[in-house]
């Protein structure tokens, strides 16, 4: 089944404790993104990657890191989480950049930083 998976689905952590949220897709998609969703602010892009070893900042990259060493994986790293990073996070992938592209979203990771 074509899908985007994320782990963990739920995470409660404390300020400053490094964490990684994994994302994997099995559709051989070139383009992957991380978003966060917050009430009143909608869906905002954090980082994106156009292919292996190619990443770039989205709208709200501060406090986050990403890597794309393999085409299928795109982990999101919070080196020193803070309470304002409490949010619902989604990973997404799409086949390419241009033309019609459906973005496939993962199930989400609900992160709480105390």
Partner 1 sequence: DAKTTQPPSMDCAEGRAANLPCNHSTISGNEYVYWYRQIHSQGPQYIIHGLKNNETNEMASLIITEDRKSSTLILPHATLRDTAVYYCTYVAVETSGSRLTFGEGTQLTVNP
Check binding of 51 to partner 1 (CB under 8 A). no
Judged by CB under 8 A, the chain residues 74 through 113 that form the site for partner 1 are 88, 90, 92, 94-108, 110
Is there a contact between 17 and 77 (Cβ–Cβ < 8 Å)? no
Q: Both tokens of residue 27?
A: 């559709």
Length of the chain: 114
Q: Report the residue number, 75 or 90, with the smaller CB distance to partner 1.
A: 90
Which parts of this chain interact with partner 1 (CB under 8 A)? 4, 30-31, 33, 35, 37, 40, 42-45, 48, 58-59, 88, 90, 92, 94-108, 110
């Amino acid at each position: 089944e074509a899908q985007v998976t994320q782990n963990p689905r739920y995470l409660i952590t404390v300020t400053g404790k490094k964490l990684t949220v994994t994302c994997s897709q099995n559709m051989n998609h070139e383009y992957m993104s991380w978003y966060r969703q917050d009430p009143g602010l909608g869906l905002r892009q954090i980082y994106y990657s156009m292919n292996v070893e190619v990443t770039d900042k989205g709208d709200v990259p501060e406090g986050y890191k990403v890597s794309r060493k393999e085409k299928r994986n795109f982990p999101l790293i919070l080196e020193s989480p803070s309470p304002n990073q409490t949010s619902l996070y989604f990973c997404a992938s799409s086949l390419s950049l241009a033309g019609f592209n459906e973005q496939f979203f993962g199930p989400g990771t609900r992160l709480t930083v105390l």
